[in-house]
Amino acid sequence: MKITVVGTGYVGLVTGTCLADVGNHVLCVDTDANKIEGLRNGVIPIHEPGLEPLVQDNYEAGRLAFTTDIAEGVDHAQVIFIAVGTPPDEDGSADLKYVLQVADSIGTHMDDYRVVVTKSTVPVGTASKVRDGILAALERRGASIDFSVVSNPEFLKEGAAVEDFMKPDRIIIGADDTRALEIMRDLYAPFNRNHQRVITMDVPSAELTKYTANAMLATKISFMNEMANLAERLGADIEAVRIGIGADPRIGYHFIYPGCGYGGSCFPKDVQALYRTAGEAGYDARILAAVEAVNRDQKHLVVDKLLRHFSGDISGRTFALWGLSFKPDTDDMREAPSRVVMEALWARGARVQAFDPVATPEARRIYGERADLVLNEDDPYAVLEGADALIVVTEWRAFRASDMQRIRDMLSGDAIFDGRNIFSPQAARDAGLVYHGVGR
């Protein structure tokens, strides 16, 4: 098929590339000329394992192309994916201006039947707004052209997005007409060879499915963080509790790891947007409000522990920070706990020496060059020198088997604040370190 993907951010680039890799002819459109030029030259704007060679292979094979011309994109394809950003508005609701701008462009330039697919995470009712936007543009032209609007939400985990797209748990398609549904079934046929993964439903249900999935996962995280905070006060070990409850197949082990809060481009934004959607529908979503409140407080937990350890005064001190991205295997620092921690330390007059294997360029982009921040992407132990304590906020795999004695020898101080519970408290203590975990 000929496919157009509008938006070459995280979702759009992965979607376009993976669809090209199974033999489709995909044109990716973006208004950012520098990004498009970079993609044509093999510069991938995001860190995602396995994506770079896939982009290069399909670009060289002629199945994947990039342009800034939306008219070219609309003319190219029978199926047009809208994968532009939906940033949170001031009140926490999803800002749909970019989505609706694309809808207007489609209506302005289309000359034959198109299937328009909302791939961005959007509130219930967005497909109707997209349909109205296309119709309004067609009316301005005095044109009457048939089209369909489909909801096909993405369920990609950063750090495993290529694998998730190629081997999906499910493919949700919300459609109101059989013509569009059959086209979407044909498009996703290469991803269904093992077993049928397509789940069809009405459009509003598909839109709500995405938000509900992310809100449920965020709820599990905040619930476990709530229990971790209780465990500390009761003298229990939340890691033992986690293993105990995870053995129940009704609960399972996924997303029940306590820590210093969730971040990224999805959970924080989507929980807030769903809460706003509920309010607009006249419903007070109290659980969603609590999930967000617990997570907001949890991001300050490590700093609260650190202040207690240093009797409230950390001015002039230096802290080593392991991890900048909101999760491993990505360079994404949107809503990352590391940002809350660093900014709180700086506000109290402390310096930060941070290590992350891939996110230091992103940290440099966000914060620039500053005297109270040293960044290192080569050696985690190097940032320990002269530091009063080590703070761990991202559970990179390379941290799991760290040398406790080496950490103790290189630190000026003797404390570890393990915001992800990746270290053995006993191993840390045996090395002469004062260990502070979450719920332990």
State yes or no: is 260 an active-site residue: no
Within the chain, how many helices (H) and strands (E) appear? 17, 14
Q: How many Å apart are CA 59 and CA 221, to the nearest integer?
A: 39
* Region of residue 386 (left: phi > 0; alpha: psi -120 to 50; beta: else): left
For residues 411 and 430, the answer to whether their CB atoms sit within 8 Å is no
Q: Where are the alpha helices (DSSP H) in 144-177?
A: 161-166
Q: What is the DSSP string of 23-41?
A: T-EEEEE-S-HHHHHHHHT
Q: Residue 94 pairs with which residues in a beta bridge?
A: 88
Tell me which residue of 365, 361, 431, 363 sits closest to 393, measured CA to CA: 363
For residues 186 and 1, the answer to whether their CB atoms sit within 8 Å is yes
Tell me which residue of 350, 388, 389 sits closest to 372, measured CA to CA: 350
Please tell me the number of Cα atoms within 13 Å of 382 on its side-chain side: 10
Q: How many Å apart are CA 429 and CA 351, to the nearest integer?
A: 25
For residues 89 and 52, the answer to whether their CB atoms sit within 8 Å is no
- Which stretch of DSSP H or E encloses residue 309? helix 301-309
User: Longest Cα pair distance anywhere in the chain, in angstroms?
Assistant: 78
Q: How many Å apart are CA 384 and CA 408, to the nearest integer?
A: 9
> Which residues have a Cβ under 8 Å from the Cβ of 29 and sit 6 or more positions away?
4, 5, 6, 7, 8, 66, 67, 68, 69, 70, 72, 73
Please tell me the number of Cα atoms within 13 Å of 406 on its side-chain side: 9
**Lookup: tokens for 293:** 């409140």
Residues labelled as active-site residues: 266
